Structure 1
Amino acid sequence: MGNHDPALLREHLGDFFRNLRDGLGGNPLPYAWVPEWHKTNHGLHAHFAVGKYIKRRLIDEAWGHGYIGIKLIGDLPVGAGALSEARIAATYLSKYVAKTFADPVARDLGLHRYDVAQGFQPERIGLTGTSAQAVVDEASELMGGDPFTRWSSSENPDWQGAPAIWAQWGR
């Protein structure tokens, strides 16, 4: 039972986001989503974030493939703006991105660990340094502080890919 096909999940999500955008009037809709394998053998599900309130009825109509759970990302500090809201949404989604780095069963090699709406891809910024720490330090300067969390392939003895570092700033 459930969907065990990563390509089919992506096809369903493409349809979902087009339907959702149409249901909201057809204007561009920024979103980000992350796939996750269920702990049991149920298959795949997806977590997504959008920057506005959407009625549950519209989400149900746009999806049409079963269960939907909704979580309002709250606990924003007083006076929080769009950047703070985006960081909280990114924090929520990034925990699911991070789960797939070290788990060889959960990784779908050759597929993205997350995706965003067309036209809303983040700007790519190239950083270089003489060491991994030098690059993290340069990124920390750009981000205005040290990473909140960090993952390194060098700390994972079972890692079989190229050396990699992942870091997350903000809360």
Structure 2
Amino acid sequence: MRADIASFFRDLRGELGRPFPYLWVPEWHKNHGLHVHFAVGKFIRHRLLARTWGRGWVGIDLIGDVPVGAGTLGESRKAAWYLSKYVAKAFAEDRSRLPGRHRYDVAQGYEPEKIEVWGRSADDAVGQVSQMFGSQPTFRWSSAEVEDWARPPALSVQWGG
């Protein structure tokens, strides 16, 4: 699958004549097997996507509900919010994640910037990020909520949506 996806994006880049940002996430669907969700930085016609993929069904949706004036950052946040639900799926239940592999992949040269936030507590760090984003989290999960959690503490927080 990874080789097919790499070939698809190489071919699509060739068809478009330029590099472009994208992010993709694999998912095992309960009814019809492995498939991929992806987002790109601008609209690409369904016809071109289907022809370039050439391996089966292709669906396309415009990620809407982006506030007027949100700009590139707002559009990117909306796309990240859409794909985050697939990234966040339980790794133990997801056969598409091989050991040592990322749960998602991005176009070369478009990797997200790493921003480190240090806090005296998880709440302090979440508060700092909330200030940076200008909003409160829309989702928060903590291993402290799981009665029999037997691994190191974990926290998952999402903004946007």
User: TM-score range with shorter-chain normalisation?
Assistant: 0.7 to 0.9
Instruction: Summarize the alignment of residues 68-107 of structure 1 with structure 2, pairs less than 5 Å apart.
Output: 68-101=58-91, 104-106=92-94
Structure 1 counterpart of 2:141 = 151
Residue type of the alignment partner of 1:145: S
Q: Is the deviation greater in 29-38 or in 77-86?
A: 77-86
- Among candidates 33, 41, 44, match of residue 43 of structure 1: 33
Is 1:15 the counterpart of 2:10? The answer is: no
Deviations 1:99-148 (A, max 9, x none): 235xx221624321111111111111111222221211121122122112
Is 1:110 the counterpart of 2:100? The answer is: yes
Gaps of 5+ in 1: 1-8
Structure 2: how far apart are the matches of 1:162 and 1:66? 41
Aligned length: 159
Structure 1: how far apart are the matches of 2:83 and 2:150? 24
Structure 1 counterpart of 2:25 = 34
Structure 2: how far apart are the matches of 1:57 and 1:66? 13
Deviations 1:4-54 (A, max 9, x none): xxxxx11111111111111101x11100111111113x3211100012111
Structure 2: how far apart are the matches of 1:125 and 1:106? 27
Q: Calculate percent identity across the aligned residue pairs.
A: 57
> What displacement does 1:85 show?
1.1
Q: 1:76 to 1:125 in 2, by over 3 A?
A: closer
Q: Is the deviation greater in 137-146 or in 152-161?
A: 152-161
Structure 1: how far apart are the matches of 2:121 and 2:60? 41
Instruction: Summarize the alignment of residues 110-129 of structure 1 with structure 2, pairs less than 5 Å apart.
Output: 110-129=100-119
Say what the alpha-carbon RMSD is for the aligned residues: 1.9
> What displacement does 1:160 show?
5.9
Q: 1:145 to 1:96 in 2, by over 3 A?
A: same
> What displacement does 1:163 show?
2.6
